[in-house]
Amino acid sequence: RKEVEQDPGPFNVPEGATVAFNCTYSNSASQSFFWYRQDCRKEPKLLMSVYSSGNEDGRFTAQLNRASQYISLLIRDSKLSDSATYLCVVRTGGFKTIFGAGTRLFVKA
Amino acid sequence: DVKVTQSSRYLVKRTGEKVFLECVQDMDHENMFWYRQDPGLGLRLIYFSYDVKMKEKGDIPEGYSVSREKKERFSLILESASTNQTSMYLCASRSGQSAYEQYFGPGTRLTVT
C-alpha cells in the first residue's frame, strides 16, 4: 500500500463546476499536510496548507480528517486556469515528506 | 521573490557517463532535496541535506550521490548513468521547520540513451 494515495483521474469538468479530490495517508503520526499544484511541464507549487479545523482560500477549501486519515480539496466555480495536477503532500515531522502521485484536472469551456 | 535554479532544463547523456545536476537556492534555506518524478509514481526522494556537508539517503538513493559544499548549492551525481535513470529531476529547498513550504526548481529532464 502506498503511503499517500490519490485517485489519478483525470477529472473532466465544465467551467463553473464544483470538484472534490480526496487523498488518504497511511501514517497516523503524520503532522503536516499540503496541497500542491503542478502545471504541465512545470514544477510543483504550494496551493495551500491543510489545517485540522479546515481552511479556505478563495474558491479552494481544504479539510483534514485525522480519524479516517484523509485530506480533501474542494474547488468551487472551476476556471479553465484550474486545469493542472494536484498533489497531496504529507509530512511526518522532520524531513520525511511524501508526495502523492497526483490527480489530474481538466476544466473545459 | 524566492528562487531555486537548476543547471539544465534538458540533458541527454549516454549509458555509463557521469552526470552532474546542479541546484542553487537564494533563500538561505537549511534544507535541500533531490527528487525524481516519473508518471504514476509521483515524486520520490533521492537524497536530502539539512546542512552544509551533511546528507541523508532518501527512498531511492541507489545509483546516486550528492554533494553540498556550500549552503546555497546542492549537487546530484549519477556516477554511471543508466537508462532507468531517465526521468525528471527536481530540486527543492525548505526552511528548517517541518510546516514550511518546499520551493522547487524548474526541473531537469534527463534522458539516458
Q: Sort out which chain B residues have CB atoms less than 8 A from A40's CB and list them.
A: none
Binned at pLDDT 50, 70 and 90, residue B98 comes out as low
DSSP H helix total and E strand total for chain A:
0, 11
Q: How does pLDDT run across A53-68, given as a tens digit for each residue?
A: 999 999 999 999 999 9
Q: Is A1 or A46 the better-scoring residue by pLDDT?
A: A46
Mutate to test the interface with B, among A97, A98, A103, A104 (most CBs of B within 10 A): A97
In percent, the amount of chain A with pLDDT more than 70 equals: 98
Quick one: cell of B49?
Answer: 541535506
User: In this model, does residue B101 exceed pLDDT 90?
Assistant: no
CB atoms within 10 A of CB A29: 7
Q: How does pLDDT run across B44-75, given as a tens digit for each residue?
A: 999 999 999 999 999 999 999 999 999 999 99
Residues A75-91: b if buried by 16+ CB within 10 A, e if exposed: beebeeebbbbbbbbbb
Question: CA A71 to CA A33: how far, in whole Å?
Answer: 8
Residue-level pLDDT at B43:
93
Of B56, B105, B107, Cβ closest to residue A95: B56
Beta partners for residue A74, in sequence order: A20, A61
